[in-house]
Structure 1
Amino acid sequence: MASGASHVVLGPAVGLRRSVRYRLLNPVRYAVDLAAASVRRGFRGDARGGRILLASDGQSPTSEQQFAPFQRYRGRLQNDLGIVQAHLLVTDALRLAPRMLSQFDAIVLKLSFQTPAECALRIVQQFRAKAPAARLVYFDGDDDLCIQWPAVLDAVDLYVKKHVFADRAAYQRRYIGKSNLTDHVARTAGVSFADDPIPCSGPIDPSSLEKLMLGYNVALNSDVLDLYQRSLSAGPVERDLDIVCRMNVPEDDWMLAMRQAAVSAMEQLAGRHRVVVSTGRLPQEEYHSELRRARICVSPFGYGEICRRDFEAVLCGAMLVKPDMSHVATEPNIYVSGKTYVPVRWDYADLPEKCERYLSREAERRRIADAAFAVIHEYHSSGAFVATVAEMLRRAGWRGGPVAGPAGRSRPEGGRA
């Protein structure tokens, strides 16, 4: 392809739905929003607001969810920040004439993690060449904390991740495999990544880390937000399951080294408590029903530290137990030790003791579960996402107006850039 984007073959129905969404519905929304913004400025006498182009390849539905809150809060972004947005496929965006692409003040780009490194950099460079005045922001949708494409970090104005190392010095270390988690299993379980597509990663140039910004995590995914809305009106339920731990344990994947330890620790509890430890998948509604019956949810690491299960458990009222997260910074932050979750060792040696402690202290279990829910509720009710977008544009170098952040709102504590 001329754009340099990787090619994915889609089924006819999927391809048609994607084409209708990106090539018909999204452009129509943008045109309507532009017209409404023009009328609003005429009445208010406002200066021209900002225009954002969201450009993604549409290849990974999970990763695409990083853009979901832009659509959900489209009206708030217009009203509070004066921002109008368009969302196009990368290939379609790069077909736009330079004068059309240059109408955008910021181009926010995201690509599938399967994109070859040289292809990802070439796409970034093409956007830079066609719209040199636009601020270029990359959204990293990877599960882990590390930076897959350091060259992309160097080439953009701002690089936004869902979660980052709490200690930025960790980016100046070298890791075996793609991340700190692959490095951990390599050193503790002898797993080799010599033949992996990314046999090692890091260190990152300290000067480039100034472009790294903490964004928001999977709490803003559409399905998690929908669960949050339903949870607000959910009534009390009988919690007849003590512990739930439902996860995939792939035999031929490096995750096995971490997750098998969790399974072994859970099996120690099975004879004394009502425990569900399963590698089987349930339909989403059945899974949420199971979590609503659980007092504790154990959530192991996967390809990254944070997963949707963490937030589903909290929104269903279960207390979250998880390997120690003190090295992670994220928003909304439901990982405050002893306050919003209970940390265990990465080898799960203390998991039985920790679970039994809180199974015998229902008031404490309930307090932690409720506090975690309150963190998510506060994030959504405070306008934090809109504040994050305002901060993103400021950090990227946006000099137009009237982007200033919603009145009376700021990024939550811990959401540092």
Structure 2
Amino acid sequence: MGIEARAISLLDDGRRRYDPVKPVIRSHLARRFPRQAQTRILFIYADDQIAWPQIYPFYHDADRFDRQGYAFRAVPYPAENAEHLIKDASAILIQSFYVLPDGELVRVLERVKSANPHAPITYLDWFAPTDVRFADRVADYVDLYAKKSLMLDRDHYRVPQAAHTNLAAYYSDKAGLTVDEPNWRCRPDIVDRLVLAPAFATAPVLLKAFEQRQAIPSGSRPIDVHARFALAPAQLHAEGRVDAGERTHWYVIMRREAEQAVRALAARHQVAWQGRVDRAAFMSEMDQSQLCFSPFGFGEICWRDLEAVLTGAVLVKPDMSHLETFCDIYRAGETYVPVRWDLSDLEDVVADLLKRPDECRAIAERAFAAIKRHLDGPKLDMLLQRLTAGTASAG
């Protein structure tokens, strides 16, 4: 692992003791491109733990890409005072933050396009939902729009949406809530430019953990089901949307329904679910768990999905058959076990799996092997070729 990959790992690490060196790291990542580089990739990144998995794998495998003639540089969004790198780039990949001042993203893209009108630009949407809500802002400037998950039926993106996300639409309707209407419009012309991008499997901490483990743990698994999850993030508490009433958020309804389902499981099985534990204890529990129940969050994909695969706990999750993901660990009955979105079959699915420990082991091993193949395979190389060419291909 090269110095740039280690540098990004420190940026990704939230511990305060690294704060004094972070300005030095950012300066190092933003140094000039080497003259001999054939293909110069500029990342304009959002400094956020959830955003790093889209960028980190290119640095983690930088030696391999260097032999192919690639060089990478990175500057934090909105790329102020980075015109020298923008002008020298062969391709530009840009992230932004979720909440932005009016017109800011367009101004950034106009500045980037003006400085380098020939380099293909990809917008890296690192956000949880499967929608393409930034399409109306970026479509006039970008060649590609990349997401970590996309609806299998791409026609979903060709029509205006009644709710912000597919999950918001489903759970709001199910609970009789008034949906928050989108303040963005769907740009049908972006559909042919949609591509899949890396997600949590290539986060620094997880990618390194998968490299260090050659197989799932073989020890005893006294915990039947691991199911620790929050009922609501701090932002919904701050907005007063966690209590019953017309302003209750769909996320809270969804997670409370999941909590009730887990409570029923705990009456019959050994379940790790109540309270908060630190990360070390969380991962230790996962190592000892036969199954991991991972409900949806603001989007379908969760950190817990990959942590389950890493530790050898069989991933049990609401059905993912409507999605495509860059790293495909959502093959029903092969690498995960789906349940209905209303969780009406969760108890039966869990009881059946716990009767078949050998099959559980087989599912867990196939999921782990799928991640290892993904990290070792050519998919990242193919994506990089597509991003630098600035053209999408089917699927």
User: TM-score under structure 2 normalisation?
Assistant: 0.86
Please give the secondary structure, in 2, of the residue aligned with 1:304: coil
- Whether contact under 8 Å (1:214, 1:416) holds in the other structure is no
Answering whether residue 155 of structure 2 is matched by residue 169 of structure 1, we say yes
What is the identity percentage for the equivalent residue pairs of Structure 1 and Structure 2?
28
- Bigger shift: residues 269-278 or 250-259: 250-259
Aligned to 2:127: 142
> In structure 2, what residue type is equivalent to 1:259?
R
Aligned to 2:263: 267
Aligned to 1:50: 39
How well do the aligned residues superpose, as a CA RMSD in angstroms? 2.4
Shift of 1:254: 2.9
Aligned to 2:198: 216
Take 1:367 and 1:232, find their aligned partners in 2: how far apart are those partners? 15
Aligned to 1:204: 187
Q: 1:15 to 1:112 in 2, by over 3 A?
A: farther
Q: 1:57 to 1:382 in 2, by over 3 A?
A: closer
Aligned to 2:272: 276
> Cα deviations across residues 272-324 of structure 1 (Å, max 9, x unaligned)?
2111223x332222211100100000000001000111010011000000001
Answering whether residue 77 of structure 2 is matched by residue 90 of structure 1, we say yes
Take 1:63 and 1:228, find their aligned partners in 2: how far apart are those partners? 19
Please give the secondary structure, in 2, of the residue aligned with 1:88: strand
Shift of 1:193: 3.9
Aligned to 1:245: 227
Please give the secondary structure, in 2, of the residue aligned with 1:154: coil
- Whether contact under 8 Å (2:120, 2:390) holds in the other structure is no
Answering whether residue 16 of structure 2 is matched by residue 21 of structure 1, we say no
Take 1:299 and 1:233, find their aligned partners in 2: how far apart are those partners? 22
- Whether contact under 8 Å (2:120, 2:387) holds in the other structure is no
- Whether contact under 8 Å (2:217, 2:311) holds in the other structure is no
Shift of 1:359: 0.5
Q: 1:321 to 1:389 in 2, by over 3 A?
A: same
Aligned to 2:117: 132
Shift of 1:219: 0.6
Answering whether residue 341 of structure 2 is matched by residue 337 of structure 1, we say no
Q: 1:248 to 1:319 in 2, by over 3 A?
A: same
User: TM-score under structure 1 normalisation?
Assistant: 0.82
Runs (4 or more) in structure 1 with deviation over 4 Å come to 11-16
Shift of 1:70: 2.0
Out of 90, 103, 123, the position equivalent to 2:88 is 103
> Cα deviations across residues 93-142 of structure 1 (Å, max 9, x unaligned)?
44244x65321111111011122452112211111111111111111001
Aligned to 2:12: none
Matched residue count: 367
- Whether contact under 8 Å (1:76, 1:386) holds in the other structure is no
Aligned to 1:403: none
Shift of 1:204: 3.0
Answering whether residue 63 of structure 2 is matched by residue 75 of structure 1, we say yes
Q: 1:65 to 1:382 in 2, by over 3 A?
A: closer
Shift of 1:13: 7.5
Take 2:292 and 2:121, find their aligned partners in 1: how far apart are those partners? 40
Take 1:147 and 1:188, find their aligned partners in 2: how far apart are those partners? 23
Out of 34, 37, 49, the position equivalent to 1:61 is 49
> In structure 1, what residue type is equivalent to 2:228?
R
